[in-house]
Amino acid sequence: MSTVFILLAVMVFIVLGTTRWGLHPFLSLLLAGLIMGFAGGLEGSAILASLGQGFGKTLQSIGIVIACGAIIGTVLERNGGARAISGALLRLVGQGRSPLAMSITGMVVSIPVFCDSGFVILSTLNRAISRRTGISMAVLAVALSTGLYATHVFVPPTPGPLAAAAAVGADLGLVLMLGLVVAVPVTGVGLAWALLYARRFDISPADLPPLEESAETAEPPPWRALLPILLPIGLIALRSVAEYPTRPFGDGSFSAALGFLGQPVIALLLGVFTAFAARAGTVAAERFEWVSAGLKNAGAIILITGAGGAFGNILRSTGIGETIGAAMVSWEIGLVLPFLLALLLKTAQGSSTVAIITTAAMVAPLLDPLGLTAPAARALVVLAVGAGAMTVSHVNDSYFWVVAQFSGMDTVTALKCHTAATLLQGMVGISTIMILSFALI
């Protein structure tokens, strides 16, 4: 029981540190690692060595990938690619189905772009649709926000799933493919909540303060805007298929090429240069500024990810993970455990990315005693963490306020529309994951 209390105390420290005491998650995770190391009986030199090894090993596997993903997202923000994707989908499904178009747009755009940035980018389009169709901003906002949220927590190269896959040793291609499968019903329930409930709230664009319009009006062709997203995803997925035990592509040069091009670093790097080419007429100085902005956005996430890896390595060094895991095996809750841990962290401190990284570090040492070591099981653990990390988005989450403020919803309305939708999304997410586990584990 003492080990359980120690870990619970450290979790409380992480939550209070990031919410009440104003500590950056990077510092909270490092301090938590130090506390855990001393409480676990490690010597000072062993603690420092474990922290450094965990930090370095994590960034070795994931740092470049996160940086490239952030660059792709920033380029699509700046070159009009996100607007081009949403406009094409709107033309495809028609204005009468514009909530569906915004939901699908959210799913696609949030794979490389952070969900709060994606929502801000597409807010202008939401307003234009609302003016033209008379559909309430509340409906369009929930459709967009839930679509963005689904792939944000389930589908790499979003930093959270990337970091979680590295922490638990999951195959990235498998996480990607299963994450897309889970994201579809999760997005669907968000869209259903928008259409069936959020329509009760009549919010007009005229009720909102004017947006500062971007001076950039040129947009790339939609297929060019989609290519930087679809190319890395396709290459990573094909690599996983090529390396499947049955070797469907054989063992020749084609399979070897997929094995190289499908490595996340190579796939995302190709995505970066594809994003540069999405819109004609960009100049070197413009591309340089985009890369600088993307790297600036990635910096904090990379450091938090590394700190999460350091904390996880401390847990492994102390052996506390195995002790707790052995006790929890008798509970027989399997994938529900990472879901509940992520849910508690998300609800308490607000950040989905921090909840994913911290929970993945906590559960990594528990996989052996819980019997979740098979490739499919590790991938589903990542997705279970993601499902918990979206349950729920409320007043301590910056995304909640972005959705509310850019959609004209007061706090109570946003809680009823957006927060309730994320609760349903989390429940559908873990339910879908459990169904997949019966078939795959």
Residues in Cβ contact with 244 at an 8 Å cutoff, skipping those fewer than 6 apart: none
* DSSP string of 131-180, one letter each residue: HHH---HHHHHHHHHHHHHHHHHHSTTSHHHHHHHHHHT--HHHHHHHHH
Q: Please report how the helices 398-405 and 115-133 are oriented relative to each other, as an axis angle in degrees rounded to 10.
A: 20
pLDDT at 412: 87
pLDDT at 433: 97
Per residue in 193-243, pLDDT (tens digit) is: 999 999 999 998 877 766 444 455 578 888 898 898 889 888 888 887 887
What tokens does 262 get? Answer: 């499908």
Q: How far apart are CA 141 and CA 160, in angstroms?
A: 23
* DSSP string of 374-424, one letter each residue: SHHHHHHHHHHHHHHTTS---TT-HHHHHHHHTTT--HHHHIIIIIHHHHH
> Does residue 157 have a cis peptide bond before it, meaning omega lies within 30 degrees of 0?
yes
CA angle at 175 for the pair 315 and 378, rounded to the nearest 5°: 40
Residues in Cβ contact with 377 at an 8 Å cutoff, skipping those fewer than 6 apart: 367, 371, 437, 440, 441
SS3 label, residue 218 = coil
The H helix count followed by the E strand count for the chain is 21, 0
Domain hosting 274: range is 2-440
Give the CA distances from residue 154 to residues 72, 130, 161, 416, in Å, rounded to whole numbers and listed in that order. Answer: 18, 29, 6, 24
Q: How many domains does the chain have?
A: 1
Residues in Cβ contact with 24 at an 8 Å cutoff, skipping those fewer than 6 apart: 18, 300
pLDDT at 164: 93
CB atoms within 10 A of CB 400: 23
CA angle at 57 for the pair 53 and 58, rounded to the nearest 5°: 120
Q: Radius of gyration (Cα) for the chain, nearest Å? A: 21
Q: Which of 266, 315, 248 is nearest to 157 (CA)?
A: 266
pLDDT at 328: 57
pTM of the model: 0.76
Burial of 53-67, coded b for 16+ CB within 10 Å and e otherwise, reads bbbebbbebbbbbbb
pLDDT at 321: 57
CA 226 to chain centre: 19
Low-confidence ranges of the chain (pLDDT < 70): 1-4, 19, 61, 209-217, 245, 320-332
